[in-house]
């Protein structure tokens, strides 16, 4: 499971002209799911995300977590995070999980993150043509891949 976590002052997702998710301060998280991903990846990753200390404290030092600042979250599924560009100029997405595997894992990721945060998490719409807007705060952008957890 691969994520791109962006600290934002605001973010939203629009599908077919309708805004389906919007937040103020928090994280916009792009999630790419592989066939080999499982619940233990979700547990490790959601714990890491909830406790990632990338918000400023009173001294302007990145020392506070999403939990500490009561930040909001939007999670967007993005299979293109698993693009392989090794050969040629057209990316291959062979590592990305098909919808029958990815959708249940995405839903489990969102539910687990909601449980850890104690609040609702906004989402995009799986497989839809989404327009994602964000105001990156900092900018602060962190990539985390569960394949690197050990």
Strands 26-32 and 18-23, sheet pairing: unpaired
Candidate list 79, 106, 112, 146, residue with the active-site label: 79
The token duo for 105 is 């894992």
6 counts as catalytic: no
CA 42 to chain centre: 11
Q: Is residue 14 among the annotated active site residues?
A: no
* Cα-trace Rg, the chain: 15
**Is 46 annotated in the active site?**
no
Active-site annotation holder among 3, 14, 46, 78: 78
Strands 122-123 and 72-77: parallel
Give me the helices (H) in 30-137, please: 39-51, 66-69, 99-117
User: In this structure, are residues 52 and 113 in contact, taking their beta carbons and an 8 Å threshold?
Assistant: no
> What are the residue numbers of the active site?
78-80
């Amino acid at each position: 499971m691969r994520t791109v976590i962006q600290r934002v002052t605001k973010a939203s997702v629009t599908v077919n002209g309708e805004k389906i998710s919007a937040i103020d301060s928090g994280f916009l998280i792009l999630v790419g799911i592989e066939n080999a991903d499982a619940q233990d990846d979700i547990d490790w990753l959601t714990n890491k995300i909830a406790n990632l200390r990338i918000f400023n404290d009173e001294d302007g030092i990145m020392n506070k977590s999403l939990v500490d600042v009561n930040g909001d979250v939007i999670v967007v599924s993005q299979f293109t995070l698993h693009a392989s560009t090794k050969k040629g100029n057209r990316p291959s997405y062979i590592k990305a999980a098909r919808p029958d595997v990815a959708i249940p894992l995405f839903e489990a990721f969102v539910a687990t993150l909601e449980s850890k945060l104690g609040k609702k998490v906004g989402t995009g719409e799986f497989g839809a043509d989404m327009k994602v807007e964000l105001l990156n705060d900092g900018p602060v952008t962190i990539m985390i891949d569960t394949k690197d957890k050990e």
